[in-house]
Amino acid sequence: MKKIMVLGGTGFVGAHVCEKLVREGWRVTVPTRRRANARHLLHLPLLTVLECNVHDEAALAAALAGHDAVINLVAILHGSQAAFDKVHVALPQKLARACRAAGVRQVVHLSALGADALQPQVAPSMYLRSKGHGEAALMQAAASGVEAPFALTILRPSVIFGAEDKLLNLFAGLQKIAPFVPLAGANAQFQPVWVEDVARAVVSCLARRLGLSAEQTPQVLELCGPEVFSLKQLVQLAGQLSGVREGRGRPVFGLPNWLGHLQAALMALAPGEPLMSRDNLDSMRRPNVASGKLPGLASLGITPAALRPVAQAYLTQNQPGQGLLGLRERASGR
C-alpha cells in the first residue's frame, strides 16, 4: 500500500485532498504542530496525524522516511517578505533536500496562478514572487537527475471556492452587516476553481505519475474553472446567492487605485488576518486566469464545475427556509 505525506493537510484544500486519498486506499500522514488542528481529520481511516514542525528540516526528513510521495499545500496569503520567503521558498527548498534524504519518489506542489518559475522576480507582488521562487527551487532539484530522484508536478490554481472558503463566504458575511461594499481591485480578473476539482487533480496527478524516473520533466498544470469573473462580479454573486436583500445583494462600488491601497493599508492595521492587503492588490495586477499555454483540468479528464450552482448550495444552506434548517421548519409546520 502506497504511503503519502500531506503538508498543509489540515487546511481548506488539505482536508478535501486527504479524504480523496483515503478513499483511493493511500496511507496518509498529516504533520501538524498541534494535534488539535487535525481533529476534523481523525475520523478518516488510514490517516495518521503526526505532531511535527515541517519547517525543521531534520524533523521533516525523519518524518518522510518510508513515504512514497509528498504533497505540499502549505501557503499564506498575507505577511511580510520574510514570512512569504519562509513558507513559499525556504520550505520547498527544505522539502526537496528532505525528499532526497528519505528517498521520496514523487512530489506534488500546489502553487498559484500567476507564479512564474522562469522569471519569478518580475511578478507584481511578494506573494507571487515567492511562489515563483519556490517553484524554481523544486524544479531545479527535480531536474538534477540522480541527485534528486523524484517526479515533480506543480499545480497552479486560480482562486479556490468551496463550502469552507474565505472568498465568497467572506463577502457574503460582509454584505449581511454592511449597507454597501467599497471595493479595491474591483476590475481584477479571476477564473475560480472548485476545491473538489483541485483535490481530484492532486490525486489524479499522483496516480498518473507513480513510478516515473528522475529524468522525467517536471509537469506544470493550470487549474481553473470554466468562467472568468471580475472581483466585483464575485462580490455581487456572493451577496445574491446568499440571499442578501432577497437575492439582490448590496451595492458594490469600485475604488480608484490610490483609495484602494489606502483601504488595504487601513485593513492591515486591524487585529487578526486582514480582509485584503496591499500585496493582495499588487497580485491582482496580473490577471488570475488561465494562460492557455499549459495543460489544465481537462488533461486529467476533469470537467471543471461552474461556480454558481456550487456556491448557491453552500451560501444558502444556513439561510431561513434553506438547507437543513429549512427542512426542519417545514417539517414542524412553521
Per-position pLDDT tens, the chain of length 334: 699 999 999 999 999 999 999 999 999 999 999 999 999 999 999 999 999 999 999 999 999 999 999 999 999 999 999 999 999 999 999 999 999 999 999 999 999 999 999 999 999 999 999 999 999 999 999 876 555 469 999 999 999 999 999 999 999 999 999 999 999 999 999 999 999 999 999 999 988 765 544 446 789 999 999 999 999 999 999 999 999 999 999 999 999 999 998 988 888 777 778 888 999 999 999 999 999 999 999 999 999 999 999 999 999 875 655 444 444 444 544 4
Q: What is the dihedral of CA 281, 286, 292, 298, to 10 degrees?
A: -10
**Matching residue, cell 498575507:** 78
Residues 6 or more apart whose CB falls under 8 angstroms from that of 35 comprise 49, 51
In CATH, the number for domain 3-160+193-223 is: 3.40.50.720
- Residue 323's pLDDT is 42
| Domain range annotation of the chain | 3-160+193-223
Which segments of the chain does DSSP mark as H helices, in order? 12-23, 57-64, 81-84, 91-102, 126-142, 168-175, 195-209, 231-241, 257-268, 278-283, 307-315, 323-331
Q: How far is Cα 162 from Cα 150, in angstroms, rounded to an integer?
A: 31
Q: Report the DSSP beta bridge partners of residue 50.
A: 31
- Residue 328's pLDDT is 43
Q: How far is Cα 108 from Cα 112, in angstroms, rounded to an integer?
A: 13
- Residue 125's pLDDT is 98
255-262: Cβ within 8 A, 24+ apart: 255/182, 255/183, 255/184, 255/186, 257/281, 259/184, 260/183, 260/184, 260/185, 261/184
85 CB-side CA count, 13 A: 4
Residues 6 or more apart whose CB falls under 8 angstroms from that of 203 comprise 17, 20, 21, 24
Grid coordinates belonging to 298: 481537462
- Residue 183's pLDDT is 95
CB 129 within 8 A of CB 92: no
Q: Are strands 151-157 and 47-51 parallel, antiparallel or unpaired?
A: unpaired
- Residue 149's pLDDT is 67
- Residue 270's pLDDT is 74
DSSP state of 218: P
